[in-house]
């Protein structure tokens, strides 16, 4: 039986084809991530899931890779060793979160995602707790025109591209795209082609940070007043 070691905890994976995130989940260990989703293609762009990975040799020694690798993009096999709680990994997580928060607005009091936001949760659990940024934040206009059902708060977006991949790979309509580069990079639509497909509302649920919101639900409720149902 194929076995993987996650933070010194053995977990059997059998013949399943898993990445580091999935293997760690079986061991009860969470590897934080934003861009990865089990039903979408892997882009490894957010860098939140960086881990140390190595191989256990037949003689019992472990050969670790010299650099951190994205857990979402790294498959595991029998003898794979995953470390997600080392000082090196924690430093990378803090640096990634600091970068994601550079231009993120302080919208938490009014954001519909507050209370179930991946950026809030990971900042609390893995972040530094303070910011070294002294410069003004980049301010980007909201995009109410992006679709009849959804609105985009552009400066909240962390560019995980889940929504873009969903419209390309699931709905097959490809209305959403990434425009510009660097700090000017943002989600947009093709001119005259709003995101109005029959599955458009799903991008709201896919968004981990409240950048995409439902127009019908906007500012109507708080998540802690609601009950989750399957």
Q: Please check whether residue 87 is in contact with residue 76, taking contact to mean a CB–CB distance below 8 angstroms.
A: no
> Pick from 32, 67, 27: which is nearest to 48 by CA?
32
User: Mean pLDDT across the stretch 62-77?
Assistant: 94
Asked whether the predicted pLDDT for residue 228 surpasses 80, the reply is no
The CATH number of 107-225 is 3.30.70.20
> What is the 8-class DSSP label of residue 182?
G
First to last CA, the chain: 34
Give the per-residue pLDDT at 130. Answer: 80
**Which residues in the chain belong to E strands, given as ranges?**
3-6, 9-12, 50-56, 62-64, 69-70, 80-83, 150-152, 176-179, 186-189, 212-214
139 band by pLDDT with thresholds 50, 70 and 90? confident
pTM confidence score: 0.89
pLDDT at 61 over 80: yes
Percent of the chain past pLDDT 90, that is, above it, reads 73
- The CATH number of 3-95 is 3.10.20.740
What is the rounded CA–CA span in Å between residue 119 and residue 108? 10
pLDDT, greater one: 74 or 230: 74
Dihedral sign, Cα of residue 205, residue 207, residue 209, residue 211 = negative
Are 102 and 133 within 8 A, CB to CB? yes
pLDDT at 131 over 90: no
CA gap 121, 223 in Å, rounded: 14
Asked whether residue 173 carries a pLDDT value surpassing 90, the answer given is yes
| pLDDT at residue number 94 | 95
Picking from 209, 134, 129, 198, the residue whose alpha carbon sits closest to that of residue 170 is: 198
The pLDDT assigned to 41 comes to 97
Q: Which two tokens stand for residue 146?
A: 């992006």
- Are the CB atoms for 81 and 71 separated by under 8 Å? no
Please give the DSSP secondary-structure letter assigned to residue 136. Answer: P
Structure confidence at residue 138 (pLDDT) = 86
- Whether the pLDDT of residue 164 is over 80: the answer is yes
| Mean pLDDT value across residues 50-64 | 89
* For residues 162-175, average pLDDT: 96
Task: Answer for the pair 97, 46: CB distance below 8 angstroms, yes or no.
Answer: no
> Mean pLDDT over residues 18-23, rounded?
96
Give the E-state strand segments of 69-179 in sequence order.
69-70, 80-83, 150-152, 176-179
The helix/strand/coil state of 222 is coil
Residue spans per domain, the chain: 3-95, 107-225
CB atoms within 10 A of CB 120: 17
**Radius of gyration of the chain measured on its C-alpha atoms:** 19
Please tell me the predicted confidence (pLDDT) of residue 134: 81
């Amino acid at each position: 039986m194929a076995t993987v070691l996650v933070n010194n905890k053995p977990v059997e994976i059998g013949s399943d084809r898993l990445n580091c995130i999935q293997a760690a989940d079986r061991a009860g260990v969470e590897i934080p991530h934003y861009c990865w989703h089990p039903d979408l293609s892997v882009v490894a762009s957010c860098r939140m899931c960086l881990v140390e990975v190595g191989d256990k040799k037949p003689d019992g020694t472990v050969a670790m890779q010299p650099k951190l690798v994205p857990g979402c993009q790294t498959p595991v096999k029998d003898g794979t060793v995953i470390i997600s709680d080392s000082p090196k990994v924690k430093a990378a997580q803090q640096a990634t979160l600091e970068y994601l928060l550079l231009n993120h607005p302080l919208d938490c009091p009014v954001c519909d995602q507050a209370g179930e936001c991946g950026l809030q949760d990971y900042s609390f659990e893995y972040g530094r707790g303070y910011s070294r940024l002294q410069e003004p934040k980049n301010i980007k206009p909201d995009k109410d025109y992006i679709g009849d059902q959804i609105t985009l708060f552009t400066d909240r977006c962390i560019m995980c591209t889940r929504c873009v991949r969903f419209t390309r790979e699931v709905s097959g309509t490809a209305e959403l795209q990434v425009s510009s580069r660097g700090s000017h990079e943002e989600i947009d639509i093709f001119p005259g082609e709003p995101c109005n497909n029959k599955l458009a509302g799903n991008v709201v649920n896919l968004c981990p940070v409240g950048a995409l919101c439902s127009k019908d639900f906007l500012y109507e409720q708080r998540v802690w007043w609601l009950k989750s149902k399957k």
